[in-house]
Amino acid sequence: MRKRRFRPLSLPRAACQPSIAVVIPAYRVALLIADVIARIPPEVAHIIVVDDASPDHLQAVLQQLPDPRLFVLSHHANRGVGGAMKTGFAKALDLEADIIVKIDGDGQMDPRLIPQFVAPILAGHADMSKGNRFVHFAYIRKMPLIRRVGNVALSFLTKVASGYWRVFDPCNGYLAIRASLVRSLDVHRLSDRYFFEISLLCEMYFARAVVEDIPMLPVYGDETSSLRPWRMIVNFAPKLMGRMLYRIGMSYFLRDFNVVSLLLATGMPAFGFGVAWSVYHWGHSMHVQQFTSTGTVMIGVLAIVLGFQLLLQALALDVANEPGRARR
């Protein structure tokens, strides 16, 4: 079987007219960033590097680069990838870019794939495109089983929190976004640290932005990733829960009230009542050393089953309500 190779896409001449800006949050990448910038295709009008208080000789390296498209911004204190992206977003908007692309400065994201990330936005098929490493089985096969399970769990939690049920690989930082959407964002709701990509995805939902996955393969050297899915699940779980409750509250109770609202308003109390009723009577029967009557048991079972069915139907309708799903 021939191995499928992923080839960069060249944009047609007419599609090169919109202004594309690339934002690179940079921290401890002095040895790698020159090669990353050199591989950014000529279709890109502006390259914005945000030095996030990097302790290495990053500034010296950037000052020696002759690329006229390059803009270098600096933070006096480290603000994280999200903080750096907020600075980069503001500069890209000042430069009147039409599309903003984010790549990292460590070389793991091939800049030659930028046209493929930009193409669905230029074609009007998407408002944001996002890298997905898990399309390629060869990449998945090399991943330890525990990490695969962790990534699947993190992806599912992100789907529930963001409302984007078709998007996978939520922590992938390779993305392109329509600048008009960035301008309308409440940047204060975007995380300053590693939660940035997920928080951006969550905010896209309220703009009803269409998000498209772009298959890609990461470029790894000898470095070891510091990101661990299970650690991220533990750290991100409270934030994801908060984002989920915020999305449901805003979408189905404050901005609108529809069938999903009714299903949630009846399903959650029914399920909660069934669980509470069953736990109470189970504990009571254990205390008095007597069997609980069949009727008492059935009340709890019926409430749990009814509540679960209502919540399951609400989930199905929420999946159908994903932005852009009707187009697919």
Write the DSSP assignment of 256-300 as a string of letters: ---HHHHHHHHHHHHHHHHHHHHHHHHHHHHHHT-PPPHHHHHHH
Q: Taking residues 191-220, what's their average pLDDT?
A: 91
C-alpha–C-alpha distance, residues 278 and 299, integer Å: 8
138 — pLDDT class (breaks 50, 70, 90) = confident
- The answer to whether the beta carbons of residues 199 and 191 sit under 8 Å apart is yes
Cα radius of gyration rounded to whole Å, the chain: 24
Residue 86 has pLDDT above 50, yes or no: yes
Exposure string over 217-249, b if 16+ CB within 10 A, otherwise e? beeeeeeeeeeebeebeeebeebbeebbeebbe
Q: Which residue has the higher pLDDT, 98 or 291?
A: 98
C-alpha–C-alpha distance, residues 53 and 47, integer Å: 18
The encoded tokens of residue 204 equal 């896209």
Total Cβ atoms within 10 A of residue 193: 12
Total Cβ atoms within 10 A of residue 254: 10
> What does the pLDDT read at residue 228?
63
Top mean pLDDT of 126-130, 190-194, 323-327 is at 126-130
> What does the pLDDT read at residue 229?
64
Give the CA dihedral 108, 197, 98, 73, nearest 10 degrees.
-70
> What does the pLDDT read at residue 17?
76
Q: Where are the domains of the chain?
A: 13-250, 257-327
Q: Which of 51, 34, 56, 32 is nearest to 106 (CA)?
A: 32
CATH for 13-250, among 3.30.1490.190, 3.30.565.10, 3.30.70.260, 3.90.550.10?
3.90.550.10
- The answer to whether the beta carbons of residues 247 and 162 sit under 8 Å apart is yes
- The answer to whether the beta carbons of residues 227 and 143 sit under 8 Å apart is no
C-alpha–C-alpha distance, residues 180 and 178, integer Å: 6
Q: Which residue has the higher pLDDT, 228 or 260?
A: 260
Q: Taking residues 118-144, what's their average pLDDT?
A: 87
> What does the pLDDT read at residue 14?
46
- The answer to whether the beta carbons of residues 91 and 187 sit under 8 Å apart is no
Taking the mean position of all CA atoms in its chain, how far away is CA 285?
47
CA 225-234-154 angle, 5° bins: 70
> What does the pLDDT read at residue 152?
83
For 101, the enclosing helix (H) or strand (E) is: strand 99-102
Residue 222 has pLDDT above 60, yes or no: no
234 — pLDDT class (breaks 50, 70, 90) = confident
- The answer to whether the beta carbons of residues 57 and 32 sit under 8 Å apart is no
> What does the pLDDT read at residue 72?
97
> What does the pLDDT read at residue 326?
64
Helix (H, G, I), strand (E, B) or coil at 47: strand
